[in-house]
Structure 1
Amino acid sequence: MAVIKPHIWFDQDKAKEAAEFYTSLMPGSAVDYVNHFPGPGVECEIVEFTLAGQPFLGISAGQGLKIDPSISFMINFDPSRDPDAAKRIDEVWNKLTEGGNIMMPLDRYPFSERYGWVADKYGVSWQLILTNPTGEERPVIVPCMMFTGDVAGDAGKAMDFYCSVFKDGKRGTTAPRPEDMGPDKAGTLMYADFYVNGTWLAAMDSAHPHGFAFSDAVSLLIPCETQEEIDHYWSALTEGGKPGQCGWLKDKYGVSWQVASTVMFDALKNGNREQVESVLKVFMSMTKVDAGALQQAYDKA
Protein backbone atom coordinates (compact mmCIF):
# COMPACT_ATOMS: atom_id res chain seq x y z
CA MET A 1 0.00 0.00 0.00
CA ALA A 2 1.43 3.37 -1.05
CA VAL A 3 1.01 6.09 1.56
CA ILE A 4 -0.71 9.39 0.80
CA LYS A 5 1.78 12.05 -0.30
CA PRO A 6 1.27 15.74 0.40
CA HIS A 7 1.80 17.70 -2.83
CA ILE A 8 3.00 21.31 -2.50
CA TRP A 9 2.91 23.87 -5.33
CA PHE A 10 5.88 26.21 -4.93
CA ASP A 11 6.80 29.40 -6.77
CA GLN A 12 8.94 29.12 -9.90
CA ASP A 13 12.28 27.34 -9.33
CA LYS A 14 11.63 26.90 -5.59
CA ALA A 15 10.61 23.21 -5.36
CA LYS A 16 14.11 21.73 -5.31
CA GLU A 17 15.43 24.52 -3.10
CA ALA A 18 12.61 23.97 -0.59
CA ALA A 19 13.08 20.18 -0.63
CA GLU A 20 16.80 20.53 0.08
CA PHE A 21 16.02 22.91 2.95
CA TYR A 22 13.42 20.60 4.52
CA THR A 23 15.55 17.47 4.22
CA SER A 24 18.38 19.24 6.06
CA LEU A 25 16.18 19.65 9.14
CA MET A 26 15.70 16.12 10.43
CA PRO A 27 17.10 12.57 10.21
CA GLY A 28 15.30 10.08 7.97
CA SER A 29 15.12 12.71 5.21
CA ALA A 30 16.40 12.80 1.62
CA VAL A 31 15.68 14.23 -1.83
CA ASP A 32 14.63 11.16 -3.83
CA TYR A 33 14.63 12.60 -7.35
CA VAL A 34 14.28 15.83 -9.32
CA ASN A 35 13.06 16.09 -12.90
CA HIS A 36 12.07 18.81 -15.35
CA PHE A 37 9.44 18.74 -18.03
CA PRO A 38 7.83 21.26 -20.38
CA GLY A 39 4.61 22.89 -19.22
CA PRO A 40 2.34 25.49 -20.83
CA GLY A 41 4.88 28.19 -21.62
CA VAL A 42 7.20 27.27 -18.75
CA GLU A 43 9.71 24.62 -17.72
CA CYS A 44 8.28 22.72 -14.76
CA GLU A 45 10.30 21.19 -11.94
CA ILE A 46 9.11 18.26 -9.85
CA VAL A 47 10.86 16.87 -6.80
CA GLU A 48 10.03 13.93 -4.57
CA PHE A 49 11.51 14.04 -1.10
CA THR A 50 11.17 12.27 2.22
CA LEU A 51 11.04 14.19 5.49
CA ALA A 52 11.44 12.12 8.67
CA GLY A 53 9.96 9.14 6.82
CA GLN A 54 7.01 10.97 5.22
CA PRO A 55 7.13 11.25 1.41
CA PHE A 56 6.27 14.57 -0.23
CA LEU A 57 5.99 15.84 -3.79
CA GLY A 58 6.82 19.41 -4.73
CA ILE A 59 6.28 21.16 -8.03
CA SER A 60 7.30 24.50 -9.51
CA ALA A 61 5.27 25.36 -12.57
CA GLY A 62 5.20 29.09 -13.16
CA GLN A 63 3.86 31.34 -10.45
CA GLY A 64 2.93 29.18 -7.48
CA LEU A 65 -0.47 29.06 -5.88
CA LYS A 66 -0.76 30.87 -2.56
CA ILE A 67 0.13 28.40 0.18
CA ASP A 68 -1.82 28.93 3.41
CA PRO A 69 -2.32 27.14 6.76
CA SER A 70 -5.44 25.21 5.67
CA ILE A 71 -3.17 22.15 5.46
CA SER A 72 -0.19 22.28 7.81
CA PHE A 73 2.30 19.65 8.93
CA MET A 74 2.54 18.56 12.55
CA ILE A 75 6.07 17.60 13.62
CA ASN A 76 6.03 15.35 16.67
CA PHE A 77 9.07 15.52 18.93
CA ASP A 78 8.67 12.50 21.18
CA PRO A 79 10.96 12.29 24.25
CA SER A 80 10.24 8.57 24.57
CA ARG A 81 11.86 7.99 21.18
CA ASP A 82 14.42 10.81 21.24
CA PRO A 83 15.98 11.87 24.55
CA ASP A 84 17.10 15.10 22.86
CA ALA A 85 13.57 15.97 21.66
CA ALA A 86 13.35 19.14 23.79
CA LYS A 87 16.59 20.41 22.28
CA ARG A 88 15.74 19.29 18.75
CA ILE A 89 12.37 21.09 18.67
CA ASP A 90 14.16 24.39 19.35
CA GLU A 91 16.74 23.71 16.63
CA VAL A 92 14.12 22.94 13.98
CA TRP A 93 11.96 25.89 15.10
CA ASN A 94 14.84 28.31 14.70
CA LYS A 95 15.47 27.12 11.14
CA LEU A 96 11.80 27.20 10.10
CA THR A 97 11.18 30.67 11.53
CA GLU A 98 14.10 32.24 9.64
CA GLY A 99 12.39 34.42 7.02
CA GLY A 100 9.02 32.98 8.02
CA ASN A 101 5.94 34.12 9.93
CA ILE A 102 5.24 32.97 13.50
CA MET A 103 1.56 32.21 14.02
CA MET A 104 1.81 30.83 17.58
CA PRO A 105 5.10 31.32 19.49
CA LEU A 106 7.05 28.29 20.64
CA ASP A 107 5.92 28.17 24.26
CA ARG A 108 4.09 26.19 26.92
CA TYR A 109 0.37 25.63 26.29
CA PRO A 110 -2.33 23.66 28.16
CA PHE A 111 -2.00 20.82 25.65
CA SER A 112 1.81 20.67 25.44
CA GLU A 113 4.94 21.68 27.32
CA ARG A 114 6.37 23.00 24.04
CA TYR A 115 4.40 23.94 20.94
CA GLY A 116 4.57 26.50 18.13
CA TRP A 117 3.06 27.16 14.72
CA VAL A 118 5.02 28.83 11.92
CA ALA A 119 4.72 29.49 8.19
CA ASP A 120 8.24 29.14 6.78
CA LYS A 121 9.91 31.30 4.12
CA TYR A 122 8.17 29.31 1.36
CA GLY A 123 4.74 29.78 2.98
CA VAL A 124 4.37 26.18 4.19
CA SER A 125 2.86 25.85 7.69
CA TRP A 126 4.34 23.67 10.41
CA GLN A 127 3.10 22.84 13.90
CA LEU A 128 5.93 21.72 16.18
CA ILE A 129 4.94 19.90 19.34
CA LEU A 130 6.72 18.14 22.16
CA THR A 131 4.48 15.12 22.52
CA ASN A 132 3.54 13.02 25.50
CA PRO A 133 2.19 10.03 23.58
CA THR A 134 -0.26 7.50 24.93
CA GLY A 135 -1.56 4.51 23.02
CA GLU A 136 -0.58 3.85 19.42
CA GLU A 137 2.61 5.53 18.25
CA ARG A 138 2.32 8.35 15.69
CA PRO A 139 4.80 9.19 12.94
CA VAL A 140 7.02 12.25 13.16
CA ILE A 141 5.12 14.09 10.40
CA VAL A 142 1.31 14.26 10.35
CA PRO A 143 -0.48 16.40 7.72
CA CYS A 144 -3.23 18.41 9.43
CA MET A 145 -6.37 19.87 7.83
CA MET A 146 -8.09 22.94 9.28
CA PHE A 147 -11.81 23.11 8.58
CA THR A 148 -12.76 26.76 8.58
CA GLY A 149 -15.09 29.18 6.81
CA ASP A 150 -18.08 27.38 5.29
CA VAL A 151 -16.85 23.98 6.52
CA ALA A 152 -15.99 24.99 10.11
CA GLY A 153 -17.45 22.30 12.36
CA ASP A 154 -17.26 19.60 9.68
CA ALA A 155 -13.93 18.03 10.68
CA GLY A 156 -15.56 15.09 12.46
CA LYS A 157 -17.90 14.32 9.57
CA ALA A 158 -15.02 14.64 7.13
CA MET A 159 -12.90 12.17 9.09
CA ASP A 160 -15.73 9.63 9.14
CA PHE A 161 -16.13 10.12 5.39
CA TYR A 162 -12.43 9.56 4.70
CA CYS A 163 -12.38 6.49 6.94
CA SER A 164 -15.27 5.06 4.88
CA VAL A 165 -13.49 5.75 1.57
CA PHE A 166 -10.25 3.97 2.51
CA LYS A 167 -10.51 0.30 3.44
CA ASP A 168 -8.22 0.55 6.48
CA GLY A 169 -9.70 3.81 7.80
CA LYS A 170 -9.90 4.28 11.56
CA ARG A 171 -10.14 7.13 14.05
CA GLY A 172 -7.39 7.83 16.54
CA THR A 173 -7.25 10.61 19.15
CA THR A 174 -10.28 12.89 19.41
CA ALA A 175 -10.33 16.14 21.41
CA PRO A 176 -13.71 17.93 21.10
CA ARG A 177 -14.39 21.29 22.68
CA PRO A 178 -16.19 20.71 25.99
CA GLU A 179 -18.16 23.97 25.67
CA ASP A 180 -18.64 26.92 23.36
CA MET A 181 -15.35 28.80 22.96
CA GLY A 182 -15.96 32.08 21.15
CA PRO A 183 -17.27 31.30 17.65
CA ASP A 184 -16.29 27.61 18.03
CA LYS A 185 -19.16 25.48 19.25
CA ALA A 186 -19.08 22.74 21.85
CA GLY A 187 -18.35 19.37 20.25
CA THR A 188 -16.33 20.76 17.35
CA LEU A 189 -12.81 19.44 17.17
CA MET A 190 -9.85 21.17 18.71
CA TYR A 191 -7.79 18.31 17.31
CA ALA A 192 -8.26 14.75 16.12
CA ASP A 193 -6.34 12.29 14.01
CA PHE A 194 -7.21 9.31 11.85
CA TYR A 195 -5.48 6.60 9.83
CA VAL A 196 -6.13 5.96 6.12
CA ASN A 197 -4.09 4.25 3.40
CA GLY A 198 -1.08 3.68 5.64
CA THR A 199 -1.04 7.37 6.60
CA TRP A 200 -1.89 9.29 9.76
CA LEU A 201 -3.72 12.55 9.07
CA ALA A 202 -5.17 15.10 11.49
CA ALA A 203 -8.11 17.52 11.45
CA MET A 204 -9.29 20.51 13.46
CA ASP A 205 -12.18 22.97 13.36
CA SER A 206 -11.85 26.74 13.59
CA ALA A 207 -14.78 29.12 13.15
CA HIS A 208 -12.59 32.21 13.50
CA PRO A 209 -12.35 34.46 10.39
CA HIS A 210 -9.04 33.22 8.95
CA GLY A 211 -9.55 34.41 5.37
CA PHE A 212 -8.34 31.19 3.75
CA ALA A 213 -9.76 27.84 2.71
CA PHE A 214 -8.51 24.57 1.25
CA SER A 215 -6.85 25.04 -2.12
CA ASP A 216 -4.76 23.27 -4.75
CA ALA A 217 -1.60 24.83 -3.30
CA VAL A 218 -1.38 21.88 -0.91
CA SER A 219 -3.19 18.74 -2.02
CA LEU A 220 -3.15 15.11 -0.92
CA LEU A 221 -1.98 12.65 -3.57
CA ILE A 222 -3.10 9.02 -3.62
CA PRO A 223 -0.66 6.85 -5.63
CA CYS A 224 -2.69 4.02 -7.21
CA GLU A 225 -1.23 0.79 -8.58
CA THR A 226 -4.35 -0.25 -10.50
CA GLN A 227 -7.19 1.28 -12.49
CA GLU A 228 -9.59 -0.31 -10.03
CA GLU A 229 -8.08 1.80 -7.23
CA ILE A 230 -8.24 4.94 -9.37
CA ASP A 231 -11.90 4.32 -10.20
CA HIS A 232 -12.79 3.71 -6.55
CA TYR A 233 -11.12 6.80 -5.09
CA TRP A 234 -12.20 9.05 -7.95
CA SER A 235 -15.84 7.99 -7.61
CA ALA A 236 -15.89 8.23 -3.81
CA LEU A 237 -14.05 11.55 -3.43
CA THR A 238 -15.84 13.40 -6.24
CA GLU A 239 -19.28 12.53 -4.80
CA GLY A 240 -20.65 15.91 -3.74
CA GLY A 241 -17.36 17.47 -4.78
CA LYS A 242 -15.87 18.72 -8.02
CA PRO A 243 -13.71 16.79 -10.52
CA GLY A 244 -10.79 18.59 -12.10
CA GLN A 245 -8.15 17.89 -14.74
CA CYS A 246 -5.29 15.37 -14.58
CA GLY A 247 -6.65 13.43 -11.59
CA TRP A 248 -7.18 16.51 -9.43
CA LEU A 249 -10.45 16.93 -7.54
CA LYS A 250 -12.05 18.77 -4.66
CA ASP A 251 -14.11 16.68 -2.28
CA LYS A 252 -17.38 17.83 -0.72
CA TYR A 253 -15.45 19.61 2.06
CA GLY A 254 -13.23 21.50 -0.39
CA VAL A 255 -10.05 19.47 0.27
CA SER A 256 -7.92 18.99 -2.85
CA TRP A 257 -6.85 15.45 -3.74
CA GLN A 258 -4.98 13.90 -6.62
CA VAL A 259 -5.94 10.36 -7.63
CA ALA A 260 -2.77 9.39 -9.46
CA SER A 261 -1.22 6.42 -11.23
CA THR A 262 2.18 5.09 -10.20
CA VAL A 263 2.92 4.84 -13.94
CA MET A 264 3.25 8.62 -14.04
CA PHE A 265 5.80 8.73 -11.24
CA ASP A 266 7.75 5.79 -12.64
CA ALA A 267 8.08 7.79 -15.87
CA LEU A 268 9.09 10.99 -14.05
CA LYS A 269 11.66 9.15 -11.96
CA ASN A 270 13.08 6.64 -14.43
CA GLY A 271 11.99 7.67 -17.94
CA ASN A 272 14.06 9.54 -20.49
CA ARG A 273 12.86 12.93 -21.75
CA GLU A 274 11.05 11.40 -24.73
CA GLN A 275 9.15 9.00 -22.44
CA VAL A 276 8.30 11.74 -19.97
CA GLU A 277 6.98 14.02 -22.71
CA SER A 278 4.96 11.16 -24.25
CA VAL A 279 3.32 10.29 -20.93
CA LEU A 280 2.66 13.94 -20.07
CA LYS A 281 1.03 14.64 -23.44
CA VAL A 282 -1.51 11.89 -22.78
CA PHE A 283 -1.85 12.81 -19.11
CA MET A 284 -2.68 16.46 -19.81
CA SER A 285 -5.76 15.44 -21.82
CA MET A 286 -7.28 13.44 -18.93
CA THR A 287 -9.82 14.21 -16.26
CA LYS A 288 -9.88 10.92 -14.35
CA VAL A 289 -6.56 9.17 -14.90
CA ASP A 290 -6.39 6.22 -17.31
CA ALA A 291 -3.44 4.11 -16.14
CA GLY A 292 -3.51 1.90 -19.24
CA ALA A 293 -3.22 4.86 -21.59
CA LEU A 294 -0.29 6.22 -19.57
CA GLN A 295 1.48 2.86 -19.65
CA GLN A 296 0.96 2.60 -23.41
CA ALA A 297 2.44 6.08 -23.93
CA TYR A 298 5.39 5.16 -21.72
CA ASP A 299 6.06 1.85 -23.49
CA LYS A 300 5.82 3.25 -27.02
CA ALA A 301 8.08 6.25 -26.52
Structure 2
Amino acid sequence: MQKIVPCLWFDTEAEQAAEFYVSVFENSEIVEVSRYGEGAPMPAGTALLVTFVLDGVEFQALNGGPAFRFTEAVSLYTSAETQEEIDRLWNTLTADGGAPGQCGWLKDKYGLSWQIVPPVLGELLNDEDSEKSGRVMQAMLGMGKIDIADLRAAYNGS
Protein backbone atom coordinates (compact mmCIF):
# COMPACT_ATOMS: atom_id res chain seq x y z
CA MET A 1 0.00 0.00 0.00
CA GLN A 2 1.21 3.49 -0.86
CA LYS A 3 1.77 5.76 2.11
CA ILE A 4 0.83 8.90 0.15
CA VAL A 5 -2.23 8.72 -2.11
CA PRO A 6 -3.40 11.69 -4.20
CA CYS A 7 -7.08 12.47 -3.69
CA LEU A 8 -8.86 14.20 -6.57
CA TRP A 9 -11.94 16.29 -5.68
CA PHE A 10 -14.82 16.11 -8.15
CA ASP A 11 -18.29 17.61 -8.01
CA THR A 12 -20.25 14.45 -8.92
CA GLU A 13 -18.05 12.74 -11.55
CA ALA A 14 -15.57 10.77 -9.38
CA GLU A 15 -16.73 7.33 -10.48
CA GLN A 16 -17.00 8.29 -14.16
CA ALA A 17 -13.56 9.90 -14.07
CA ALA A 18 -11.94 6.89 -12.38
CA GLU A 19 -13.52 4.56 -14.95
CA PHE A 20 -12.22 6.78 -17.74
CA TYR A 21 -8.69 6.99 -16.31
CA VAL A 22 -8.38 3.21 -15.81
CA SER A 23 -9.47 2.74 -19.44
CA VAL A 24 -6.61 4.98 -20.61
CA PHE A 25 -3.67 3.41 -18.75
CA GLU A 26 -2.49 -0.20 -18.69
CA ASN A 27 -2.19 -2.03 -15.36
CA SER A 28 -5.07 0.00 -13.96
CA GLU A 29 -8.22 -0.87 -12.05
CA ILE A 30 -10.98 0.36 -9.78
CA VAL A 31 -10.19 -1.06 -6.35
CA GLU A 32 -13.16 0.06 -4.27
CA VAL A 33 -16.16 2.36 -4.38
CA SER A 34 -17.83 3.62 -1.20
CA ARG A 35 -21.20 5.27 -1.59
CA TYR A 36 -23.23 7.95 0.11
CA GLY A 37 -26.06 6.64 2.28
CA GLU A 38 -29.44 8.12 3.15
CA GLY A 39 -29.38 11.64 4.56
CA ALA A 40 -26.00 12.48 3.03
CA PRO A 41 -25.31 15.64 1.05
CA MET A 42 -25.64 13.68 -2.21
CA PRO A 43 -28.27 11.17 -3.31
CA ALA A 44 -27.97 7.75 -1.68
CA GLY A 45 -25.95 5.40 -3.86
CA THR A 46 -23.79 8.16 -5.38
CA ALA A 47 -20.10 7.35 -5.18
CA LEU A 48 -18.49 9.06 -2.20
CA LEU A 49 -14.93 7.81 -2.61
CA VAL A 50 -13.44 5.78 -5.46
CA THR A 51 -10.07 4.10 -4.93
CA PHE A 52 -8.32 3.27 -8.19
CA VAL A 53 -4.88 2.40 -9.53
CA LEU A 54 -3.29 3.91 -12.64
CA ASP A 55 -0.33 1.88 -13.87
CA GLY A 56 0.54 0.85 -10.33
CA VAL A 57 -0.10 4.21 -8.61
CA GLU A 58 -3.04 4.45 -6.23
CA PHE A 59 -5.42 7.42 -6.33
CA GLN A 60 -8.69 8.36 -4.72
CA ALA A 61 -11.50 10.30 -6.32
CA LEU A 62 -13.97 12.08 -4.05
CA ASN A 63 -17.40 13.41 -4.94
CA GLY A 64 -17.33 16.45 -2.69
CA GLY A 65 -19.59 18.86 -4.53
CA PRO A 66 -18.88 22.03 -6.48
CA ALA A 67 -16.82 23.86 -3.83
CA PHE A 68 -13.42 23.19 -5.42
CA ARG A 69 -12.14 22.93 -8.99
CA PHE A 70 -8.89 21.70 -10.49
CA THR A 71 -6.25 24.24 -11.51
CA GLU A 72 -2.97 23.94 -13.39
CA ALA A 73 -1.19 24.30 -10.05
CA VAL A 74 -1.45 20.51 -9.80
CA SER A 75 -1.01 18.16 -12.74
CA LEU A 76 -0.34 14.50 -13.37
CA TYR A 77 2.98 14.00 -15.14
CA THR A 78 2.93 11.07 -17.56
CA SER A 79 6.05 9.74 -19.23
CA ALA A 80 5.43 8.58 -22.81
CA GLU A 81 8.30 6.80 -24.57
CA THR A 82 7.14 7.04 -28.18
CA GLN A 83 5.32 9.49 -30.42
CA GLU A 84 2.56 6.92 -30.82
CA GLU A 85 2.07 6.82 -27.06
CA ILE A 86 2.12 10.62 -26.82
CA ASP A 87 -0.47 10.86 -29.61
CA ARG A 88 -2.74 8.21 -28.05
CA LEU A 89 -2.67 9.76 -24.58
CA TRP A 90 -3.05 13.28 -25.93
CA ASN A 91 -5.98 12.41 -28.16
CA THR A 92 -7.74 10.32 -25.52
CA LEU A 93 -7.31 12.78 -22.68
CA THR A 94 -8.35 15.85 -24.72
CA ALA A 95 -11.40 14.11 -26.26
CA ASP A 96 -14.98 15.00 -25.35
CA GLY A 97 -14.32 18.43 -23.86
CA GLY A 98 -10.67 18.29 -22.87
CA ALA A 99 -8.35 21.07 -24.01
CA PRO A 100 -4.80 21.14 -25.36
CA GLY A 101 -2.28 23.34 -23.60
CA GLN A 102 1.32 24.32 -24.21
CA CYS A 103 4.57 22.40 -23.76
CA GLY A 104 2.93 18.99 -23.39
CA TRP A 105 0.21 20.11 -20.96
CA LEU A 106 -3.49 19.46 -21.44
CA LYS A 107 -6.73 19.40 -19.49
CA ASP A 108 -9.01 16.39 -19.66
CA LYS A 109 -12.79 16.57 -19.85
CA TYR A 110 -12.97 16.76 -16.05
CA GLY A 111 -10.61 19.75 -15.89
CA LEU A 112 -7.63 17.81 -14.50
CA SER A 113 -4.26 18.92 -15.91
CA TRP A 114 -1.84 16.38 -17.35
CA GLN A 115 1.69 16.60 -18.72
CA ILE A 116 2.48 14.13 -21.51
CA VAL A 117 6.27 14.13 -21.78
CA PRO A 118 8.80 11.86 -23.49
CA PRO A 119 11.96 11.11 -21.48
CA VAL A 120 14.03 12.28 -24.46
CA LEU A 121 12.91 15.86 -23.75
CA GLY A 122 14.83 15.91 -20.46
CA GLU A 123 17.86 14.35 -22.11
CA LEU A 124 17.91 16.99 -24.86
CA LEU A 125 17.23 19.89 -22.48
CA ASN A 126 20.06 18.76 -20.19
CA ASP A 127 22.66 18.47 -22.94
CA GLU A 128 25.98 20.12 -22.10
CA ASP A 129 25.87 22.03 -25.38
CA SER A 130 23.80 25.08 -24.42
CA GLU A 131 23.10 25.99 -28.05
CA LYS A 132 21.54 22.58 -28.72
CA SER A 133 19.55 22.55 -25.48
CA GLY A 134 18.47 26.14 -26.11
CA ARG A 135 17.09 25.22 -29.52
CA VAL A 136 15.19 22.34 -27.92
CA MET A 137 13.75 24.70 -25.29
CA GLN A 138 12.59 27.14 -27.97
CA ALA A 139 11.02 24.32 -29.99
CA MET A 140 9.21 22.97 -26.91
CA LEU A 141 7.89 26.41 -25.98
CA GLY A 142 6.19 26.57 -29.39
CA MET A 143 4.50 23.19 -29.05
CA GLY A 144 1.20 22.06 -27.67
CA LYS A 145 1.54 18.32 -27.94
CA ILE A 146 5.20 17.35 -27.79
CA ASP A 147 6.62 16.17 -31.11
CA ILE A 148 9.74 14.05 -30.66
CA ALA A 149 10.89 14.43 -34.28
CA ASP A 150 10.66 18.22 -34.05
CA LEU A 151 12.62 18.19 -30.76
CA ARG A 152 15.37 16.12 -32.37
CA ALA A 153 15.41 18.39 -35.42
CA ALA A 154 15.81 21.46 -33.20
CA TYR A 155 18.59 19.71 -31.29
CA ASN A 156 20.39 18.93 -34.56
CA GLY A 157 19.87 22.46 -35.87
CA SER A 158 17.77 21.36 -38.82
Give TM-score scaled by structure 1 length: 0.48
Q: Does 1:222 align with 2:85?
A: no
Give a deviation string over 1:180-199, Cα, whole Å, max 9, x none: 413x2222333222111232
1:153 counterpart residue number: 12
**Structure with the larger strand share:** 1
2:92 counterpart residue number: 236
Distance 1:271 1:188, change over 3 A: farther
Distance 1:279 1:191, change over 3 A: same
| Aligned equivalent of 1:163, options 8, 22, 26 | 22
Q: Does 1:189 align with 2:52?
A: no
User: Separation in 2 of the partners of 1:287 and 1:231?
Assistant: 11
Q: Does 1:200 align with 2:58?
A: yes
Partner SS for 1:186: coil
Q: Which moved more, 1:256-265 or 1:271-280?
A: 271-280
Q: Is contact 2:14-2:49 (8 Å) kept?
A: no
Task: Point out which structure has higher relative CO (alpha carbons under 8 A, 6+ apart).
Answer: 2
Give the aligned residue type for 2:4: I
1:139 counterpart residue number: 2
User: Separation in 2 of the partners of 1:293 and 1:158?
Assistant: 32
Distance 1:206 1:291, change over 3 A: same
Runs of 5+ in structure 1 lacking a partner?
Answer: 1-137
Runs of 5+ in structure 2 lacking a partner?
Answer: none
**Structure with the larger helix share:** 2
Give the aligned residue type for 1:236: T
Distance 1:225 1:155, change over 3 A: same
- Report runs of 4+ in structure 1 exceeding 6 Å deviation: none
Give TM-score scaled by structure 2 length: 0.88
1:57 counterpart residue number: none
Q: Give the fraction of aligned pairs with identical amino acids, expressed as a percent.
A: 40
2:114 counterpart residue number: 257
User: Separation in 2 of the partners of 1:159 and 1:257?
Assistant: 15
Deviation at 1:299, TM superposition (A): 4.5
User: Separation in 1 of the partners of 2:45 and 2:149?
Assistant: 46
Output the aligned Cα RMSD. 1.9
User: Separation in 1 of the partners of 2:157 and 2:39?
Assistant: 61
